Amino acid sequence: MSYEIIGITVLWTFLYGYLIVASIDFGAGFFSFYSVLTGHKNKVHWVIQRYLSPVWEVTNVFLIFFEIGLIGFFPDSAYYYGTALLVPGSIVIILLAVRAVYYAYNTYGISNNGNLVYMALYGATGLLIPAALSTVLALSEGGIIEERAGHVVLKWAIFFSNPYTWSVILLALVSVLYISAMFLSYYAHKAGDKTAFEILRGYALIWSGPTILASVFAFFQINRQNPEHFQNMLHSAWMFIASLVCYLGAVYLVWRKRHLGWSFILVMLQFAFAWYGYGRSHLPYVLYKYVNIYQNFTNESMATALLAAFLAGFLLLVPSLVLLMRLFLFNARYIRGNSPKRGS
């Protein structure tokens, strides 16, 4: 494999990591708020909090890692995306800021009851951020970012009137809720919390339908937006079929209330197949026709240094993440809430 392919695969994998972790996080924020509104607060709120608390900081890092890595490996993408995304990017920063900060205030700062305004902020940003972030995928297909007379411009009119933009936003919204509900059902089940499980299982099943519809819709919109990419996707058709099979399996298991761990693994596989299939067929472009992984790659010495740093960092990161998961995600005593919940 060439450095270019390894580089983009590493980045794509981190973005995949972000997709899963952030979806759980974003969706959980929304469900947490929703449960307060519908009077289910005491049934699901604590399960959600217990999962979120130790991991909220880690989520952000995946995103930054991707951004810095992208610029490291493909410096020209900074020029195109950086210039074009000033406004949407700044708005995403603000949403992320509001979300993270008010989460921390609510969890550590205020008394145990929580603050409805903070929770509303948390829930709303949980849906807005994925919607905003996903639009970068629409931009990457080309036709929306243009370079004119040495200036990079984002054509807002085309951006907003483009059905593909909206299909991506829709897909992001529903899959966030779906991934999150699937995970939380598993988590609640493990915690032995039957009431929370029933509610969360309901959410998971409700959101599974729209997820698959939105996926199919987005799939065919790519054909209109970028036929070349769509043709490439057809060459990797087996990946999308595998994704569908995993989806069916995951929903079936949740419906039958069996093997929920496996069900979530199937959800992860479902998105992995679709994500890598989409990414693979997008190559060689990072931004259609402007940034190409081969022509806009960084110099070789930097590439080797980055990959070496990545390898070293990865060897530190994986055991740490495993430790985090063993202490909190897969520790029955902690999940059931027998361990002290807070640092206070």
Partner 1 sequence: MSLSDPILMSRILTGLTLFVHINLAAIGVGLPVMMALAEWRGIRTGDPHYILLARRWARGFVISVAVGVVTGTAIGLQLSLLWPNFMRIAGRAIALPMFMETFAFFIEAIFLGIYLYTWDRFKNKYLHLMLLIPTAIGSTSSAYFITSMNAFMNMPQGFTLKDGIFTDVKPLVAMFNPATPTKVSHVIASSYTVSACLLVAIAAFSLLKGRGHVYFKKALKLAVVSSFVFAVATAVIGDFSGKFLAKYQPEKLAAAEWHFDTREQAPLIYGGILDKNNEVKYAIKIPYALSILAGSSPNTKVIGLNEFPKENIPPLSIHYMFDLKVTNGVMLILIPFIYMLRKRIPGMRGAVPKWLLVLLVALAPLAFVAVELGWFFAEIGRQPWIVRGYMRVSEGATTSPNVSWMLLLFVLLYLVLCVSCLKVLGKMFRNKSVEEELQELYPGGERTS
Q: Within positions 296 to 335, which residues make up the interface with partner 1, using CB under 8 A?
A: 298-299, 301-302, 305-306, 309-310, 312-313, 316-317, 320-321, 323-324, 327-328, 334
Q: Site residues for partner 1, window 227-286 (CB under 8 A)?
A: none
Candidates 67-75, 129-137, 163-171, 220-228 — which segment interacts with partner 1 by CB under 8 A? 67-75
- Torsional sign, CA 110, 112, 113, 119: positive
Q: How far is the CB of 99 from partner 1 (least distance, A)?
A: 9
Nearer to partner 1, 74 or 164 (CB): 74
CA distance 307 to 8: 11
Is residue 184 within 8 Å of 269, Cβ to Cβ? no
Q: How far is the CB of 96 from partner 1 (least distance, A)?
A: 6
CA distance 276 to 252: 24
Measured N-to-C along each axis, helices 116-140 and 163-190 cross at an angle, to the nearest 10 degrees, of 130
Nearer to partner 1, 234 or 309 (CB): 309
Q: Which of 8, 16, 44, 76 binds partner 1 (CB under 8 A)?
A: 76
Q: How far is the CB of 314 from partner 1 (least distance, A)?
A: 8
- In sequence order, what are the residues at sequence separation of 6 or more whose Cβ sits closer than 8 angstroms to the Cβ of residue 243? 269, 270, 271, 272, 273, 274, 277
Tokens 């807002």 identify what position? 156
- Torsional sign, CA 195, 322, 270, 88: positive
Tokens 């990419």 identify what position? 229
Q: Which of 12, 19, 29, 72 binds partner 1 (CB under 8 A)?
A: 72
Size of the site for partner 1 (CB under 8 A): 73
Q: Site residues for partner 1, window 133-162 (CB under 8 A)?
A: 151-152
CB atoms within 10 A of CB 322: 11
Candidates 21-29, 96-104, 186-194, 274-282 — which segment interacts with partner 1 by CB under 8 A? 96-104
Q: Which of 2, 37, 38, 87 binds partner 1 (CB under 8 A)?
A: 87
Is residue 313 within 8 Å of 79, Cβ to Cβ? no
Q: How far is the CB of 324 from partner 1 (least distance, A)?
A: 5
DSSP β-bridge partners for residue 151 = 148
Is residue 26 within 8 Å of 123, Cβ to Cβ? no
Q: Which of 5, 6, 78, 283 binds partner 1 (CB under 8 A)?
A: 78
Measured N-to-C along each axis, helices 86-104 and 41-73 cross at an angle, to the nearest 10 degrees, of 140
Q: 130: helix, coil or strand? A: helix
Q: Which of 65, 160, 209, 263 binds partner 1 (CB under 8 A)?
A: 65
Question: Diameter of the chain by CA atoms?
Answer: 64
Q: How far is the CB of 10 from partner 1 (least distance, A)?
A: 10
Nearer to partner 1, 63 or 174 (CB): 63
Residue 315's H or E segment, with its range, is: helix 300-324
Q: Which of 9, 46, 82, 166 binds partner 1 (CB under 8 A)?
A: 82
Cα 121–chain centre separation: 19
Q: Site residues for partner 1, window 97-136 (CB under 8 A)?
A: 97-98, 100-101, 103-105, 108-111
CA distance 226 to 139: 11
Nearer to partner 1, 1 or 149 (CB): 149
Q: Which of 27, 69, 249, 277 binds partner 1 (CB under 8 A)?
A: 69
Q: Which of 9, 13, 54, 248 binds partner 1 (CB under 8 A)?
A: 54
